[in-house]
Structure formats: C-alpha cells, structure tokens
Amino acid sequence: MARVTVEDCIDKVENRFELVLLAAHRARMISSGSPLTLDRDNDKNPVVALREIAEQTVSPEDMKEDLIHSLQKYVEVDEPEAEAVPLVPSSASQQTTQVNAVDDSAVEFDRMSEEDLLRGLEGLVPPERSDDI
C-alpha cells in the first residue's frame, strides 16, 4: 500500500481545493462502478483516486470537465429564435396609422426575421463626421 500525499498530486493539479474536488469526484465515480486504472492494494476510493491523479492514469482536465457536467442542472441550447421583428412602417402605412390612431386593432405590421434585421443593420453606413462639432 503506497502512501499518497497532496504534494504528490499538487504538480498535476496546482490548486489544492480543485484537487480535493477532482479526487472526491473520481472517488464517487469509482464507487458507482467506474473501472480502476490502478491496483486497489486494499485502499479506499479517495486514496485510489489520489493515487490515480498522482500517477497520471486519469486526466485532470477530463475529470474537471466531467465534474462540471455532473453538476449542471440545466444545459442551455443556443438556437436561433423564430420570433419575427416588426419592420419600420413605410409612408403608406404611416398614413394608415395616422388615420387609425384611435383604433389600434387595425394597425398592421410587416414582419421580418432577426437575421434579416441584422443583415440590414450591417449594410448601414455611418454618417460623415464634420469637424465643426
């Protein structure tokens, strides 16, 4: 049974607190049935986890990523929104809006996607600066 210390592991994982988190996570993985990468030598799971980190049979980066995924409750998927954005009213629809200013239910909007709006904004040219300001 080899004795393992924090000093044996600190050159693999520089932060002691992170080392404790990773070793505890690996010990939980071992207790839930994850295969060992070293002989147990009658050691308990936390000692086996520290020995695996010290001898670099498991990757600390992979364990850190796995720890983060195990702690996540909700994973947000970044998908484009299908919601449309109203267009700026043209002169004809401005007149209609002015006539029907009292009745808002008759107002109609043209719709465009967010991507079309962004493309339109990217095509705009900033005004010329004058030195008189």
pLDDT in tens, 13-54: 889 999 999 999 999 999 999 999 988 888 899 999 999 999
Same domain? 43 vs 18: yes
State whether 65 and 98 are in the same domain.
no
> What percent of the chain has a predicted confidence (pLDDT) above 70?
74
Same domain, 94 and 64: no
Domain of 36 in residue numbering reads as 6-71
pLDDT band at 12 (very low <50, low <70, confident <90, very high): confident
Average pLDDT over residues 54-66: 90
The answer on 64 and 97 residing in a single domain is no
Answer whether residue 89 is part of any domain.
yes
- Position 22 in a domain: yes
103 with 60, same domain: the answer is: no
Asked if residue 90 and residue 40 are part of one domain, the reply reads: no
Residues 66 and 28 in one domain: yes
Read off the pTM: 0.53
- Residue 34 maps to which CATH number? 3.90.940.10
132 lies in some domain: no
Reported for 39-47, long-range contacts at CB under 8 A and 24+ positions apart, including other chains, are: 41/1, 41/2, 42/1, 43/1, 47/4
